[in-house]
Structure 1
Amino acid sequence: MRHIFLTLFLFLFLTCSKEDATIMGPSGSPPPTAEPDTTISYLALGDSYTIGTSVPAEQRWPEQLARQLLERERIAVEPLEIVARNGWRTDNLANALAAADPGDDFDLVSLLIGVNDQFQGFAVDGYQRRFEQLLQAAIGYAGGDTSRVFVVTIPDYAYTPFGGGREFISREIDQFNAAARQVTTRYDIPFYNITPISRRGLQQPDLVAGDDLHPSGKQYGLWVEEVLLKQVADLIRAGGN
Protein backbone atom coordinates (compact mmCIF):
# COMPACT_ATOMS: atom_id res chain seq x y z
CA MET A 1 0.00 0.00 0.00
CA ARG A 2 2.85 2.42 0.85
CA HIS A 3 4.42 1.64 -2.54
CA ILE A 4 1.19 2.50 -4.36
CA PHE A 5 0.84 5.71 -2.36
CA LEU A 6 4.44 6.68 -3.14
CA THR A 7 4.02 6.03 -6.86
CA LEU A 8 0.89 8.17 -7.10
CA PHE A 9 2.46 10.96 -5.07
CA LEU A 10 5.59 11.08 -7.19
CA PHE A 11 3.47 11.26 -10.32
CA LEU A 12 1.58 14.25 -8.99
CA PHE A 13 4.64 15.97 -7.54
CA LEU A 14 7.00 15.43 -10.41
CA THR A 15 4.64 16.17 -13.30
CA CYS A 16 5.27 19.85 -13.84
CA SER A 17 2.81 22.31 -15.32
CA LYS A 18 3.74 25.62 -16.89
CA GLU A 19 3.59 27.25 -13.45
CA ASP A 20 6.00 24.68 -11.97
CA ALA A 21 9.32 26.16 -13.01
CA THR A 22 12.33 28.00 -11.72
CA ILE A 23 11.77 31.72 -11.97
CA MET A 24 14.55 34.27 -11.90
CA GLY A 25 13.59 37.86 -12.54
CA PRO A 26 10.68 40.28 -12.07
CA SER A 27 7.54 38.68 -10.70
CA GLY A 28 5.09 40.26 -13.13
CA SER A 29 2.92 41.51 -10.27
CA PRO A 30 0.22 44.12 -10.95
CA PRO A 31 1.22 47.79 -10.91
CA PRO A 32 1.61 49.24 -7.41
CA THR A 33 -1.57 50.44 -5.73
CA ALA A 34 0.15 52.40 -2.96
CA GLU A 35 3.11 54.75 -2.79
CA PRO A 36 5.93 52.81 -1.09
CA ASP A 37 8.22 54.28 1.52
CA THR A 38 10.58 51.31 1.32
CA THR A 39 11.71 49.11 -1.57
CA ILE A 40 13.33 45.71 -1.13
CA SER A 41 14.55 42.82 -3.26
CA TYR A 42 13.23 39.40 -2.26
CA LEU A 43 14.39 35.87 -3.11
CA ALA A 44 12.02 32.97 -2.31
CA LEU A 45 13.52 29.47 -2.23
CA GLY A 46 11.58 26.23 -2.10
CA ASP A 47 9.54 23.57 -3.86
CA SER A 48 5.94 23.17 -5.04
CA TYR A 49 4.66 25.16 -2.07
CA THR A 50 6.69 28.22 -3.11
CA ILE A 51 6.15 27.95 -6.86
CA GLY A 52 2.42 27.46 -6.17
CA THR A 53 1.70 24.20 -8.00
CA SER A 54 -1.94 24.08 -9.16
CA VAL A 55 -2.69 27.76 -8.48
CA PRO A 56 -2.29 30.79 -10.76
CA ALA A 57 1.02 32.64 -10.44
CA GLU A 58 -0.58 35.60 -8.69
CA GLN A 59 -1.88 33.30 -5.92
CA ARG A 60 1.52 31.96 -4.88
CA TRP A 61 2.25 32.97 -1.32
CA PRO A 62 5.37 35.03 -2.18
CA GLU A 63 3.31 36.96 -4.73
CA GLN A 64 0.51 37.52 -2.23
CA LEU A 65 3.02 38.56 0.42
CA ALA A 66 4.59 41.07 -1.95
CA ARG A 67 1.20 42.60 -2.80
CA GLN A 68 0.16 42.85 0.82
CA LEU A 69 3.48 44.38 1.84
CA LEU A 70 2.85 47.15 -0.67
CA GLU A 71 -0.84 47.66 -0.04
CA ARG A 72 -0.77 47.48 3.76
CA GLU A 73 2.82 48.22 4.77
CA ARG A 74 3.99 50.50 1.91
CA ILE A 75 6.91 48.17 1.24
CA ALA A 76 7.53 47.54 -2.46
CA VAL A 77 9.13 44.27 -3.55
CA GLU A 78 11.18 44.96 -6.68
CA PRO A 79 12.19 42.44 -7.78
CA LEU A 80 10.63 39.29 -6.40
CA GLU A 81 12.68 36.33 -7.61
CA ILE A 82 11.76 32.67 -7.07
CA VAL A 83 13.90 29.55 -7.27
CA ALA A 84 11.50 26.66 -6.74
CA ARG A 85 10.01 23.73 -8.60
CA ASN A 86 7.39 21.09 -8.15
CA GLY A 87 8.85 17.91 -6.60
CA TRP A 88 12.17 19.35 -5.42
CA ARG A 89 13.94 17.86 -2.42
CA THR A 90 16.65 19.69 -0.50
CA ASP A 91 19.34 18.28 -2.81
CA ASN A 92 17.42 19.35 -5.94
CA LEU A 93 17.17 22.92 -4.64
CA ALA A 94 20.86 22.95 -3.73
CA ASN A 95 21.81 21.82 -7.23
CA ALA A 96 19.57 24.44 -8.83
CA LEU A 97 21.04 27.20 -6.70
CA ALA A 98 24.56 26.15 -7.60
CA ALA A 99 23.63 26.51 -11.27
CA ALA A 100 21.55 29.69 -10.90
CA ASP A 101 23.89 31.74 -8.67
CA PRO A 102 21.20 34.25 -7.55
CA GLY A 103 23.69 36.75 -6.09
CA ASP A 104 24.47 38.01 -2.61
CA ASP A 105 22.63 41.30 -2.25
CA PHE A 106 18.98 40.44 -1.55
CA ASP A 107 17.22 42.41 1.17
CA LEU A 108 15.02 39.43 2.05
CA VAL A 109 15.36 35.66 1.52
CA SER A 110 12.89 32.92 2.50
CA LEU A 111 13.30 29.14 2.63
CA LEU A 112 10.55 26.49 2.65
CA ILE A 113 11.73 22.96 1.77
CA GLY A 114 11.43 19.38 2.93
CA VAL A 115 8.12 17.75 2.05
CA ASN A 116 9.63 15.64 -0.72
CA ASP A 117 12.49 14.53 1.51
CA GLN A 118 9.85 13.37 3.99
CA PHE A 119 7.62 11.60 1.52
CA GLN A 120 10.41 9.85 -0.33
CA GLY A 121 11.60 8.30 2.90
CA PHE A 122 14.78 10.24 3.55
CA ALA A 123 16.01 10.24 7.16
CA VAL A 124 15.40 13.29 9.31
CA ASP A 125 19.05 13.69 10.26
CA GLY A 126 20.11 13.77 6.61
CA TYR A 127 17.40 16.31 5.89
CA GLN A 128 18.57 18.43 8.79
CA ARG A 129 22.13 18.47 7.47
CA ARG A 130 21.04 19.44 3.95
CA PHE A 131 18.60 22.00 5.31
CA GLU A 132 21.40 23.68 7.24
CA GLN A 133 23.48 23.90 4.09
CA LEU A 134 20.56 25.55 2.29
CA LEU A 135 20.04 27.94 5.18
CA GLN A 136 23.70 28.91 5.01
CA ALA A 137 23.26 29.54 1.29
CA ALA A 138 20.18 31.68 1.98
CA ILE A 139 22.20 33.75 4.44
CA GLY A 140 24.83 34.20 1.75
CA TYR A 141 22.22 35.47 -0.71
CA ALA A 142 21.25 38.02 1.94
CA GLY A 143 24.80 39.34 2.08
CA GLY A 144 25.62 37.30 5.16
CA ASP A 145 22.96 39.07 7.22
CA THR A 146 20.81 36.60 9.17
CA SER A 147 18.31 39.36 9.98
CA ARG A 148 17.22 39.34 6.32
CA VAL A 149 16.29 35.63 6.27
CA PHE A 150 13.21 33.72 7.39
CA VAL A 151 12.05 30.11 7.24
CA VAL A 152 8.50 28.85 6.66
CA THR A 153 7.38 25.49 8.02
CA ILE A 154 6.36 22.55 5.85
CA PRO A 155 2.56 22.32 5.51
CA ASP A 156 0.84 19.04 6.37
CA TYR A 157 -0.53 17.33 3.27
CA ALA A 158 -2.25 14.69 5.45
CA TYR A 159 -5.08 17.22 5.66
CA THR A 160 -5.94 16.95 1.98
CA PRO A 161 -8.08 14.45 0.08
CA PHE A 162 -4.85 12.94 -1.22
CA GLY A 163 -3.35 12.60 2.26
CA GLY A 164 -6.59 11.23 3.63
CA GLY A 165 -5.87 12.18 7.23
CA ARG A 166 -3.08 9.62 7.60
CA GLU A 167 -1.56 10.15 11.04
CA PHE A 168 1.92 8.94 10.10
CA ILE A 169 2.20 11.81 7.61
CA SER A 170 1.49 14.37 10.31
CA ARG A 171 3.96 12.73 12.70
CA GLU A 172 6.70 12.82 10.10
CA ILE A 173 5.95 16.39 9.05
CA ASP A 174 6.26 17.38 12.72
CA GLN A 175 9.62 15.62 12.93
CA PHE A 176 10.96 17.36 9.83
CA ASN A 177 9.71 20.74 11.03
CA ALA A 178 11.30 20.16 14.43
CA ALA A 179 14.62 19.39 12.74
CA ALA A 180 14.40 22.59 10.68
CA ARG A 181 13.45 24.58 13.77
CA GLN A 182 16.54 23.35 15.63
CA VAL A 183 18.81 24.56 12.85
CA THR A 184 16.96 27.83 12.38
CA THR A 185 17.09 28.60 16.11
CA ARG A 186 20.87 28.10 16.20
CA TYR A 187 21.20 30.81 13.56
CA ASP A 188 18.70 33.10 15.34
CA ILE A 189 16.51 33.22 12.23
CA PRO A 190 12.69 33.58 12.38
CA PHE A 191 10.73 30.36 11.91
CA TYR A 192 7.17 31.06 10.82
CA ASN A 193 4.67 28.28 11.51
CA ILE A 194 1.95 27.97 8.86
CA THR A 195 1.41 24.24 9.47
CA PRO A 196 -1.70 24.68 11.69
CA ILE A 197 -3.41 26.52 8.83
CA SER A 198 -2.72 23.61 6.47
CA ARG A 199 -4.39 21.30 8.99
CA ARG A 200 -7.76 22.92 8.33
CA GLY A 201 -7.79 21.42 4.84
CA LEU A 202 -10.15 18.50 5.42
CA GLN A 203 -12.69 20.62 7.29
CA GLN A 204 -12.35 23.52 4.84
CA PRO A 205 -12.07 22.02 1.34
CA ASP A 206 -11.59 25.42 -0.28
CA LEU A 207 -8.16 25.57 1.34
CA VAL A 208 -6.99 22.76 -0.99
CA ALA A 209 -6.23 23.24 -4.70
CA GLY A 210 -8.06 21.38 -7.44
CA ASP A 211 -5.41 18.63 -7.52
CA ASP A 212 -6.58 17.53 -4.02
CA LEU A 213 -3.02 17.85 -2.72
CA HIS A 214 -1.53 21.35 -2.74
CA PRO A 215 -2.76 24.46 -0.93
CA SER A 216 -5.24 26.69 -2.72
CA GLY A 217 -4.67 30.38 -3.29
CA LYS A 218 -7.03 31.00 -0.39
CA GLN A 219 -4.85 28.95 1.95
CA TYR A 220 -1.74 30.80 0.80
CA GLY A 221 -3.61 34.03 1.51
CA LEU A 222 -4.20 32.87 5.07
CA TRP A 223 -0.51 32.13 5.47
CA VAL A 224 0.16 35.74 4.56
CA GLU A 225 -2.72 37.26 6.54
CA GLU A 226 -2.43 35.24 9.75
CA VAL A 227 1.30 34.54 10.00
CA LEU A 228 3.64 36.20 7.55
CA LEU A 229 2.64 39.76 6.73
CA LYS A 230 3.12 41.54 10.05
CA GLN A 231 6.16 39.52 11.08
CA VAL A 232 7.92 39.93 7.75
CA ALA A 233 7.13 43.65 7.66
CA ASP A 234 8.60 44.01 11.16
CA LEU A 235 11.66 42.04 10.04
CA ILE A 236 12.18 44.39 7.10
CA ARG A 237 11.72 47.52 9.22
CA ALA A 238 14.07 46.23 11.91
CA GLY A 239 16.71 45.66 9.25
CA GLY A 240 16.58 49.28 8.21
CA ASN A 241 15.65 48.54 4.57
Structure 2
Amino acid sequence: MKLYQITILLCLLSCDGGQSPAPASPDPANETGKPHYLALGDSYTIGQSVAPDERWPVILADELKKAGKPVATPEIIARTGWTTRNLLDALEQSPPTGTFDLVSLLIGVNNQYQGRNMEEYRIEFRQLLVKAIAYAGDDAGNVFVLSIPDWGVTALGEGNRDHISSEIDNFNAIAKDECDKLKIVFIDITGTSRTALNDPTMIASDQLHFSGKMYRLWVNQALSRVKQLF
Protein backbone atom coordinates (compact mmCIF):
# COMPACT_ATOMS: atom_id res chain seq x y z
CA MET A 1 0.00 0.00 0.00
CA LYS A 2 1.37 3.45 -0.92
CA LEU A 3 2.27 5.98 1.77
CA TYR A 4 -0.52 8.41 0.85
CA GLN A 5 -3.06 5.57 1.02
CA ILE A 6 -1.84 4.60 4.48
CA THR A 7 -2.16 8.21 5.64
CA ILE A 8 -5.73 8.43 4.36
CA LEU A 9 -6.56 5.08 5.92
CA LEU A 10 -5.26 6.10 9.34
CA CYS A 11 -7.29 9.30 9.25
CA LEU A 12 -10.51 7.67 8.13
CA LEU A 13 -10.34 4.82 10.62
CA SER A 14 -9.20 6.84 13.62
CA CYS A 15 -10.67 10.33 13.13
CA ASP A 16 -14.29 11.32 13.50
CA GLY A 17 -14.27 13.12 10.16
CA GLY A 18 -16.39 15.92 11.57
CA GLN A 19 -19.35 13.59 11.97
CA SER A 20 -21.73 14.35 14.82
CA PRO A 21 -22.64 11.36 17.00
CA ALA A 22 -26.31 11.53 16.05
CA PRO A 23 -28.71 13.01 13.50
CA ALA A 24 -30.43 16.27 14.25
CA SER A 25 -33.02 16.03 17.02
CA PRO A 26 -36.44 15.06 15.64
CA ASP A 27 -39.51 17.21 15.95
CA PRO A 28 -41.20 15.97 19.17
CA ALA A 29 -44.61 16.67 17.65
CA ASN A 30 -43.98 14.04 15.00
CA GLU A 31 -42.45 11.48 17.36
CA THR A 32 -45.14 11.14 20.01
CA GLY A 33 -46.16 7.55 20.63
CA LYS A 34 -43.70 6.03 18.17
CA PRO A 35 -41.41 3.18 19.28
CA HIS A 36 -37.92 4.42 20.12
CA TYR A 37 -34.89 3.08 18.24
CA LEU A 38 -31.28 3.26 19.47
CA ALA A 39 -28.41 2.47 17.07
CA LEU A 40 -24.96 1.83 18.56
CA GLY A 41 -21.77 1.51 16.55
CA ASP A 42 -18.92 3.13 14.67
CA SER A 43 -18.39 4.72 11.23
CA TYR A 44 -20.77 2.33 9.51
CA THR A 45 -23.63 3.28 11.82
CA ILE A 46 -22.99 7.02 11.72
CA GLY A 47 -22.56 6.77 7.95
CA GLN A 48 -19.08 8.16 7.33
CA SER A 49 -18.96 9.92 3.93
CA VAL A 50 -22.68 9.56 3.17
CA ALA A 51 -25.60 11.93 3.67
CA PRO A 52 -27.60 11.59 6.91
CA ASP A 53 -30.58 10.07 5.08
CA GLU A 54 -28.27 7.36 3.67
CA ARG A 55 -27.23 6.04 7.09
CA TRP A 56 -28.48 2.50 7.41
CA PRO A 57 -30.39 3.05 10.69
CA VAL A 58 -32.20 5.98 9.04
CA ILE A 59 -32.99 3.87 5.97
CA LEU A 60 -34.22 1.10 8.27
CA ALA A 61 -36.54 3.47 10.12
CA ASP A 62 -37.95 4.66 6.80
CA GLU A 63 -38.52 1.10 5.59
CA LEU A 64 -40.19 0.13 8.86
CA LYS A 65 -42.57 3.06 8.41
CA LYS A 66 -43.41 1.87 4.89
CA ALA A 67 -44.04 -1.61 6.31
CA GLY A 68 -46.56 -0.24 8.79
CA LYS A 69 -44.23 -0.30 11.80
CA PRO A 70 -43.12 3.32 12.20
CA VAL A 71 -40.38 4.15 14.69
CA ALA A 72 -39.12 7.50 15.91
CA THR A 73 -36.06 9.03 14.29
CA PRO A 74 -33.16 6.79 15.41
CA GLU A 75 -30.98 7.95 18.25
CA ILE A 76 -27.48 7.16 17.01
CA ILE A 77 -24.48 6.80 19.31
CA ALA A 78 -21.54 6.15 17.02
CA ARG A 79 -18.23 7.64 15.90
CA THR A 80 -15.76 6.91 13.16
CA GLY A 81 -12.78 5.05 14.62
CA TRP A 82 -14.57 3.66 17.66
CA THR A 83 -13.61 0.24 19.00
CA THR A 84 -15.72 -1.71 21.46
CA ARG A 85 -13.77 0.02 24.27
CA ASN A 86 -14.47 3.47 22.86
CA LEU A 87 -18.20 2.74 22.60
CA LEU A 88 -18.30 1.37 26.14
CA ASP A 89 -16.53 4.47 27.45
CA ALA A 90 -18.95 6.76 25.58
CA LEU A 91 -21.95 4.94 27.02
CA GLU A 92 -20.51 5.19 30.52
CA GLN A 93 -19.88 8.92 30.14
CA SER A 94 -23.19 9.80 28.45
CA PRO A 95 -25.66 6.92 28.68
CA PRO A 96 -28.85 7.15 26.63
CA THR A 97 -31.93 7.98 28.65
CA GLY A 98 -35.22 6.15 28.69
CA THR A 99 -36.17 2.75 27.37
CA PHE A 100 -35.94 1.78 23.71
CA ASP A 101 -38.23 -0.54 21.79
CA LEU A 102 -35.45 -1.46 19.36
CA VAL A 103 -31.66 -1.45 19.80
CA SER A 104 -29.05 -2.30 17.18
CA LEU A 105 -25.30 -2.85 17.48
CA LEU A 106 -22.60 -2.94 14.81
CA ILE A 107 -19.05 -2.71 16.16
CA GLY A 108 -15.66 -4.32 15.72
CA VAL A 109 -14.01 -3.20 12.50
CA ASN A 110 -11.63 -0.92 14.38
CA ASN A 111 -10.74 -3.71 16.79
CA GLN A 112 -9.67 -5.68 13.74
CA TYR A 113 -7.89 -2.77 12.08
CA GLN A 114 -5.96 -1.86 15.23
CA GLY A 115 -4.92 -5.44 15.82
CA ARG A 116 -6.80 -5.66 19.11
CA ASN A 117 -6.97 -8.96 20.93
CA MET A 118 -9.93 -11.15 19.98
CA GLU A 119 -10.56 -12.27 23.55
CA GLU A 120 -10.68 -8.62 24.55
CA TYR A 121 -13.25 -8.12 21.80
CA ARG A 122 -15.32 -11.00 23.12
CA ILE A 123 -15.39 -9.56 26.63
CA GLU A 124 -16.18 -6.00 25.53
CA PHE A 125 -18.69 -7.06 22.89
CA ARG A 126 -20.58 -9.09 25.49
CA GLN A 127 -20.58 -6.05 27.79
CA LEU A 128 -22.11 -4.03 24.97
CA LEU A 129 -24.77 -6.67 24.40
CA VAL A 130 -25.68 -6.58 28.09
CA LYS A 131 -25.98 -2.80 27.91
CA ALA A 132 -28.08 -3.03 24.74
CA ILE A 133 -30.46 -5.42 26.47
CA ALA A 134 -30.75 -3.04 29.42
CA TYR A 135 -31.52 -0.13 27.07
CA ALA A 136 -34.22 -2.31 25.50
CA GLY A 137 -36.05 -2.68 28.81
CA ASP A 138 -34.16 -5.87 29.70
CA ASP A 139 -35.64 -7.59 26.66
CA ALA A 140 -33.04 -9.33 24.46
CA GLY A 141 -35.82 -9.90 21.93
CA ASN A 142 -35.73 -6.19 21.06
CA VAL A 143 -32.01 -6.19 20.21
CA PHE A 144 -30.29 -7.13 16.96
CA VAL A 145 -26.69 -7.13 15.73
CA LEU A 146 -25.28 -6.63 12.25
CA SER A 147 -22.04 -8.41 11.46
CA ILE A 148 -18.85 -6.48 10.70
CA PRO A 149 -18.60 -5.69 6.98
CA ASP A 150 -15.39 -6.43 5.09
CA TRP A 151 -13.49 -3.22 4.33
CA GLY A 152 -10.88 -5.32 2.50
CA VAL A 153 -12.98 -5.01 -0.65
CA THR A 154 -12.29 -1.27 -0.82
CA ALA A 155 -9.43 0.32 -2.71
CA LEU A 156 -7.58 0.89 0.54
CA GLY A 157 -7.83 -2.78 1.40
CA GLU A 158 -6.17 -3.85 -1.85
CA GLY A 159 -3.06 -5.93 -1.34
CA ASN A 160 -4.19 -7.25 2.03
CA ARG A 161 -7.68 -8.49 1.28
CA ASP A 162 -7.29 -12.14 2.23
CA HIS A 163 -5.82 -11.27 5.63
CA ILE A 164 -8.49 -8.65 6.36
CA SER A 165 -11.26 -10.99 5.27
CA SER A 166 -9.98 -13.82 7.46
CA GLU A 167 -9.74 -11.62 10.53
CA ILE A 168 -13.18 -10.08 9.94
CA ASP A 169 -14.61 -13.61 9.80
CA ASN A 170 -12.93 -14.46 13.11
CA PHE A 171 -14.30 -11.38 14.84
CA ASN A 172 -17.77 -12.09 13.44
CA ALA A 173 -17.64 -15.67 14.71
CA ILE A 174 -17.11 -14.27 18.20
CA ALA A 175 -19.96 -11.79 17.81
CA LYS A 176 -22.35 -14.48 16.61
CA ASP A 177 -21.36 -16.80 19.43
CA GLU A 178 -22.04 -14.13 22.04
CA CYS A 179 -25.36 -13.22 20.41
CA ASP A 180 -26.41 -16.87 20.38
CA LYS A 181 -25.66 -17.18 24.10
CA LEU A 182 -27.96 -14.26 24.88
CA LYS A 183 -30.57 -15.16 22.25
CA ILE A 184 -29.98 -11.95 20.31
CA VAL A 185 -30.70 -11.82 16.57
CA PHE A 186 -27.46 -11.77 14.55
CA ILE A 187 -27.75 -10.68 10.92
CA ASP A 188 -24.78 -11.55 8.72
CA ILE A 189 -24.32 -8.77 6.15
CA THR A 190 -20.61 -9.47 5.62
CA GLY A 191 -21.16 -11.48 2.46
CA THR A 192 -23.29 -8.69 1.07
CA SER A 193 -20.53 -6.17 1.82
CA ARG A 194 -18.09 -8.26 -0.23
CA THR A 195 -20.15 -7.75 -3.38
CA ALA A 196 -18.69 -4.23 -3.46
CA LEU A 197 -15.46 -5.72 -4.77
CA ASN A 198 -17.00 -5.75 -8.25
CA ASP A 199 -19.31 -2.75 -7.91
CA PRO A 200 -17.67 0.64 -7.22
CA THR A 201 -21.08 2.25 -6.65
CA MET A 202 -21.24 0.34 -3.36
CA ILE A 203 -18.24 2.30 -2.04
CA ALA A 204 -18.36 5.84 -0.63
CA SER A 205 -16.29 8.68 -2.06
CA ASP A 206 -13.56 8.20 0.56
CA GLN A 207 -12.80 4.78 -1.00
CA LEU A 208 -12.93 3.11 2.41
CA HIS A 209 -16.48 3.16 3.71
CA PHE A 210 -19.66 1.95 2.03
CA SER A 211 -22.20 3.98 0.10
CA GLY A 212 -25.87 4.49 0.80
CA LYS A 213 -26.57 1.96 -1.93
CA MET A 214 -24.77 -0.73 0.08
CA TYR A 215 -26.46 0.34 3.31
CA ARG A 216 -29.83 -0.12 1.64
CA LEU A 217 -28.88 -3.70 0.79
CA TRP A 218 -28.12 -4.33 4.46
CA VAL A 219 -31.52 -2.95 5.41
CA ASN A 220 -33.25 -5.07 2.79
CA GLN A 221 -31.53 -8.12 4.24
CA ALA A 222 -32.39 -7.23 7.84
CA LEU A 223 -35.91 -5.84 7.47
CA SER A 224 -37.97 -9.01 7.70
CA ARG A 225 -36.24 -10.10 10.90
CA VAL A 226 -36.28 -6.66 12.50
CA LYS A 227 -40.04 -6.29 11.89
CA GLN A 228 -40.59 -9.32 14.12
CA LEU A 229 -38.69 -7.85 17.08
CA PHE A 230 -41.16 -5.25 18.31
Q: Say whether the fold is shared (TM-score over 0.5).
A: yes
Q: Percent identity?
A: 45
Counterpart for residue 111 of structure 2: 117
1:136 to 130, 134, 142: 130
Aligned residue among 205, 208, 215 for 1:210: 205
Is 1:126 aligned to 2:120, yes or no? yes
**For 2:157, what is the secondary structure of its paired residue?**
coil
Matched, 1:90 2:79: no
Give the alignment partner of residue 161 of structure 1, picking from 138, 142, 155: 155
In the alignment, the residues of structure 1 paired with residue 111 and residue 203 of structure 2 have an alpha-carbon distance, to the nearest angstrom, of 21
Q: Which residue of structure 2 lines up, in the alignment, with residue 22 of structure 1?
A: 21
Cα distance in structure 1, aligned partners of 2:3 and 2:176: 30
Aligned length: 226
Equivalent in 202, 221, 228 of residue 216 of structure 2:
221
Supply the distance in 1 between the matched residues of 2:70 and 2:36 (Cα, whole angstroms): 8
Q: CA deviation at 1:5?
A: 7.2
Q: Distance in 1 between matches of 2:177 and 2:89?
A: 24
- Is there any run of 5+ residues in structure 1 with no aligned partner, and where? 33-37, 237-241
Gap change, CA 1:24 and 1:106, over 3 Å in 2:
farther
Q: How far, CA to CA, are the matches of 2:185 and 2:2 in structure 1?
A: 35
How far apart, CA to CA, are the structure 1 residues paired with 2:223 and 2:43? 21
Q: 1:2 to 1:67 in 2, by over 3 A?
A: same
Greater CA drift, 122-131 or 161-170: 161-170
CA displacement at 1:26 relative to structure 2? 3.5
Give the aligned CA root-mean-square deviation in angstroms.
2.2
SS of aligned partner of 1:40: coil
Q: 1:192 matched to which residue of 2?
A: 187
SS in 1 for 2:138: coil
Cα deviation for residue 209 of structure 1 reads: 0.4
Q: Distance in 1 between matches of 2:5 and 2:181?
A: 35
2:34 partner amino acid: T
Query: Is contact 1:114-1:127 (8 Å) kept?
Result: yes
Structure 2 residue 146 is the aligned partner of structure 1 residue 147: no
